[in-house]
Structure 1
Amino acid sequence: MATQPLKYTVTHHRKQQHTHEAFITWIVEEHLPLAIPVFKKHGVLGYSLLDFADFDCFLEYTIPDVQVVKNVMSDPDWQEAIKDQDDWVDMTKALVSLGHSTPYLLETGEVVNMPK
């Protein structure tokens, strides 16, 4: 039986000296080009950045198991990918979550995982 992928999420607040727009630009244009190869190397199945009002961004990773997070975090290339993080991210406010995500309504309009 196949194991259901996990959702690993991180909320980030920018450091106050940066605007929200500059923060998102930093993530997308500077951080992600370095981070995505590390994600692919270690089997991250999906990655999304959501823009919210309560915090500056919500990062959602889809991973096959927790070991992937450990592998990414210990990769020397990940250290390069997060080298500027302390200048941009207020890590005292970060929230990390791990769990399963069960879809019920797909973007196609299909309803799934409902009892018959």
Structure 2
Amino acid sequence: MAGPLKYTVTHYRRKDRTHEEFLKWFVEEHLPLAMPIFKRHGVLEYTLFVTPEDLNGALKQELTKVRPTWDVADFDCFLEFTIPSAQTIKDVMSDPDWLNAIKDENEWCDMSRSLASLGYATPYLLKTGEVVNLPKFK
């Protein structure tokens, strides 16, 4: 496959922090330090996907009715990076400023539960309503 990669990371907050406190720290303290590093190393896009407990609880309640064997992920947020290559991850993490950007993460995140993945994303339905990348769609 060609094209940019997607790199994702899930984070759980420490249990002694509320979801709201965690997100406030993440957005107001961590991201302002991280963004210049992301830009410096060619991160193409970055999205913070937040998973509040009330939404996940409601989803779980409804989902068990139609998919009883499924579980609902319970992490607090999902980070999605669009990057030109896997080297970008190494470059960000080895940047001298990165240690400062993550200096408080152990006070806020349960790092033992974080999960990372690397792969490709292929769009099939665009915001415009257009279906793409399907050879036989009418």
What's the TM-score once normalised by structure 1's chain length? Answer: 0.95
CA distance, structure 2, for counterparts of residue 112 and residue 82 of structure 1? 38
Q: What SS class does the counterpart of residue 132 from structure 2 fall into?
A: coil
Q: Aligned runs of 1:78-97 on 2, under 5 Å?
A: 78-97=98-117
CA distance, structure 1, for counterparts of residue 31 and residue 128 of structure 2? 28
Paired residue total: 115
Q: What SS class does the counterpart of residue 15 from structure 1 fall into?
A: coil
1:3, distance to aligned residue in structure 2 (A): 3.3
Q: Aligned runs of 1:56-67 on 2, under 5 Å?
A: 56-67=76-87
1:107, distance to aligned residue in structure 2 (A): 1.4
Deviations 1:48-99 (A, max 9, x none): 0101231100000000000000000000111110000010010110000000
1:113, distance to aligned residue in structure 2 (A): 0.8
Mean alpha-carbon deviation: is it higher for 48-57 or for 87-96? 48-57
CA distance, structure 2, for counterparts of residue 82 and residue 110 of structure 1? 39
1:101, distance to aligned residue in structure 2 (A): 0.5
What percent of counterpart residues are identical? Answer: 64
Q: Which runs of 4+ in 1 moved over 6 A?
A: none
Structure with bigger gyration radius: 2
Which residue is equivalent to 2:42?
Answer: 43
Contact 1:3 1:64 in 2 (8 A): no
Contact 1:31 1:82 in 2 (8 A): yes
1:105, distance to aligned residue in structure 2 (A): 0.6
Q: Does 1:68 align with 2:88?
A: yes
Which residue is equivalent to 2:67?
Answer: none
Q: Aligned runs of 1:17-32 on 2, under 5 Å?
A: 17-32=16-31
RMSD: 1.2
Gaps of 5+ in 2: 57-73
Contact 1:44 1:64 in 2 (8 A): yes
Mean alpha-carbon deviation: is it higher for 35-44 or for 51-60? 51-60
Deviations 1:17-73 (A, max 9, x none): 100001011111000000000000000000001012311000000000000000000
AA matched with 2:40: K
